[in-house]
């Protein structure tokens, strides 16, 4: 590559010089004339003029676009033609120079890489002589490229293998100075500290990586799970980086680490880093571990001012759909299904400002059960109530509510009456006896398939003010 680039440069430069010589070489046998014979009008008529004025006439002729006569009597080019003719070779010359520079740089960079590859091959042999040769090759690579943080890491890792910890520490410190914003360098430095059981410094290095890019999240979290016993140390290293903290908490949820997740959740909530999505995931984890009471407490604390009369006067949160559903199991979970349009509707409500609207498009005999909420309960009697408004709701099966034991539906499964046709706000009530052993119930909006021939449901229903209250409070 270097040889080809050099040939290209010489070809472009030589071609330009050859043309320049052709223009500037005096013509033999030119006939001199006197200065008096020269004038702008006679410029084109005297191609053999030997002398031209030195009072600016030649410059004026060039600016005016006229050709002038050279010292040898030959015609000179106008300015534009001169530039086009002689500067057209400039890109070839520049390209040749660039290729020469790139080729030389590539050759220079290839030397340390080749030495590193040879050192790696030697390290696989595993004997004492190979270790010495590895260090020699890596030191030689470092001398070739002393500004590369990667070369310092290469040498540092080899020195650790050779037991030269102090020198290796200097190499990694130097690599971090040269690559302060390079995540791979910080990861290699973290590996060095983990090998020496220097957990605090290793956590600091990995936290720096998390704050820079998200690409290493899974690797860093795996290290923390295995090598960092104290969750507080991890969280303190993250400090005020919200993205890294939330990503770590999601990792704890997905890996089912309940104890660590509890510490991380309290840490997140104390810094206002928690959100509805994280709360939903954490509650799912707690319920999967049968920690129902703790899940309820987490949800109540997370709702804050949004909780309203939940759970004291009503076991259902967001009962009037005044807030967008969060997707948490203790809020309304709405799953899309064709052909039903489900939206939170403002402007028409039994109480407050919003309700839930269901539009059936008349395309299918829909079995609907895609809007539901789960809530913790204690054994006893409850009243389930919901207000429903319908408009031209067809078929023999309409809107109703179902309440059942979330974990064992065979223990509790009750349905309200249904509503079809057109009705103003109507209360659907159902008394429910929660048996011993039931800790969670699910309240579900449903529509059963119609057994009739004309069974494709069409029409609209609005739902609002859904409540589940203990029977002793129902009459108040």
CATH code of the domain containing 416: 2.60.120.260
Q: In terms of residues, how long is the chain?
A: 476
50 pLDDT exceeds 60? no
Instruction: Answer whether residue 2 is part of any domain.
Output: no
Which residues are within 8 A (CB) of 409 and not within 5 positions of it... i.e. 6 or more apart? none
Alpha helices in 213-304 (DSSP H): 217-227, 231-238, 242-254, 258-270, 276-288, 292-303
Q: What is the pLDDT of residue 48?
A: 45
Query: Average pLDDT of 296-313?
Result: 95
Instruction: Give me the number of domains the chain comprises.
Output: 1
How does DSSP assign 352-412, residue by residue?
Answer: SSEEEEEEEESSS---EEEEEEEEE--SEEEEEEEEEEEEEE-SS--BEEEEEESS-TTT-
pLDDT digits (tens, 9 = 90+) for 331-371: 999 999 999 999 999 989 999 999 999 999 999 999 999 99
The 8-class DSSP code of residue 273 comes to -
Return the minimum-mean-pLDDT range out of 52-61, 182-191, 404-413: 52-61
The proportion of the chain whose per-residue pLDDT surpasses 70, expressed as a percent, equals 72
Confidence label for 181 from pLDDT (cuts 50, 70 and 90): very high
Cα-based torsion angle of the residue sequence 175, 179, 183, 188 in order, rounded to the nearest 10 degrees:
-10
Q: Coil, strand or helix: which one is 147? A: coil
Residue 347 has a pLDDT of 86
Residue 72 lies in a domain: no
Instruction: Tell me the C-alpha to C-alpha distance, in Å, between residue 67 and each of 73, 79, 86.
Output: 12, 9, 16
Between 249 and 8, where is the model more confident?
249
Residues 6+ away with beta carbon under 8 Å from 461: 357, 358, 360, 388, 389, 390, 391, 393, 398, 399, 419
* Integer Cα distance of 364 and 73 in angstroms: 98
**Tens-digit pLDDT profile for residues 196-205:** 999 999 999 9
Whole-angstrom distance, CA of residue 109 vs CA of residue 84: 38
Which tokens in the block code for residue 15?
């071609």
Is residue 435 in some structural domain?
yes
Residue in this structure with the two tokens 């709405």, named with its chain if needed: 334
Percent of the chain with pLDDT over 90: 69
Identify the pLDDT of residue 79.
Answer: 55
30 occurs within a structural domain: no
Give, for 468, the enclosing helix (H) or strand (E): strand 458-470
Cα 419 from chain centroid (whole Å):
47
Residue 411 domain boundaries? 333-474
The whole-number average pLDDT for the span 240-253 is 96
In a domain, 426, yes or no: yes
pLDDT of residue 436: 96
Predicted confidence band of residue 473 (pLDDT cuts 50, 70, 90): confident
353 falls within a domain: yes
Q: Compute the half-sphere exposure of residue 167: CA atoms within 13 Å on the CB side of its CA.
A: 13
Does 129 reside within a domain? no
Query: Does position 45 have pLDDT exceeding 50, yes or no?
Result: no
Instruction: Assess if residue 124 is contained within a domain.
Output: no
């Amino acid at each position: 590559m270097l040889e080809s680039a050099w040939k290209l440069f010489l070809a472009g430069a030589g071609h330009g010089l050859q043309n320049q010589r052709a223009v500037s070489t005096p013509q033999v046998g030119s006939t001199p004339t006197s200065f008096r014979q020269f004038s702008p009008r006679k410029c084109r008529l005297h191609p053999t003029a030997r002398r031209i004025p030195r009072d600016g006439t030649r410059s004026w002729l060039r600016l005016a676009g006229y050709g002038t006569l050279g010292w040898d009597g030959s015609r000179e080019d106008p300015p534009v033609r001169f530039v086009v003719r002689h500067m057209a070779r400039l890109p070839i010359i520049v390209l040749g120079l660039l290729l020469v520079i790139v080729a030389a740089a590539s050759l220079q960079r290839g030397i340390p890489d080749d030495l590193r590859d040879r050192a790696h091959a030697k390290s696989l042999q595993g004997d004492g002589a190979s270790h010495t040769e590895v260090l020699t090759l890596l030191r030689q690579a470092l001398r070739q490229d002393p500004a590369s943080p990667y070369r310092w890491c290469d040498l540092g890792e080899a020195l650790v293998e050779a037991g030269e910890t102090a020198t290796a520490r200097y190499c990694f410190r130097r690599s971090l100075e040269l690559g302060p914003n390079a995540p791979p360098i910080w990861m290699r430095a973290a590996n060095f500290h983990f090998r020496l059981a220097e957990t605090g410094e290793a956590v600091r290095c990995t936290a720096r990586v998390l704050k820079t890019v998200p690409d290493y999240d899974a690797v860093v979290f795996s290290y923390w799970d295995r090598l960092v016993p104290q969750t507080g140390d991890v969280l303190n290293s993250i400090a005020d980086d919200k993205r890294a903290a939330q990503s770590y908490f999601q990792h704890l949820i997905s890996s089912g680490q309940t104890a660590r997740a509890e510490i991380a959740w309290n840490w997140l909530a104390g810094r206002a880093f928690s959100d509805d999505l994280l709360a939903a995931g954490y509650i799912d984890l707690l319920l999967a571990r049968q920690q129902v009471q703790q899940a309820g407490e987490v949800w109540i604390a997370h709702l804050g001012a949004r909780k309203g009369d939940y759970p004291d006067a009503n076991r259902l949160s967001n009962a009037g759909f005044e807030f967008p559903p969060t997707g948490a199991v203790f809020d309304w979970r709405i799953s899309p299904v064709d052909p039903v349009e489900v939206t939170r509707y403002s402007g028409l409500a039994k109480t407050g400002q919003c309700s839930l609207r269901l539009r059936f498009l008349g395309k299918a005999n829909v079995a609907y059960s895609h809007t539901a909420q789960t809530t913790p309960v204690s054994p006893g009697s409850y009243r389930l109530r919901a207000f429903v408004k319908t408009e031209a709701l067809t078929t023999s099966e309409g809107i109703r509510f179902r309440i059942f034991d979330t974990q064992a539906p065979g223990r509790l499964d009750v349905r309200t009456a249904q509503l079809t046709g057109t009705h103003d706000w109507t209360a659907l009530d159902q008394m429910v006896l929660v048996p011993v052993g039931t800790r969670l119930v699910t309240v579900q909006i449903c529509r059963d398939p119609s057994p009739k021939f004309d069974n494709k449901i069409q029409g609209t229903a609005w739902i609002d003010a859904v409540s589940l209250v203990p029977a002793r409070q129902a009459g108040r």
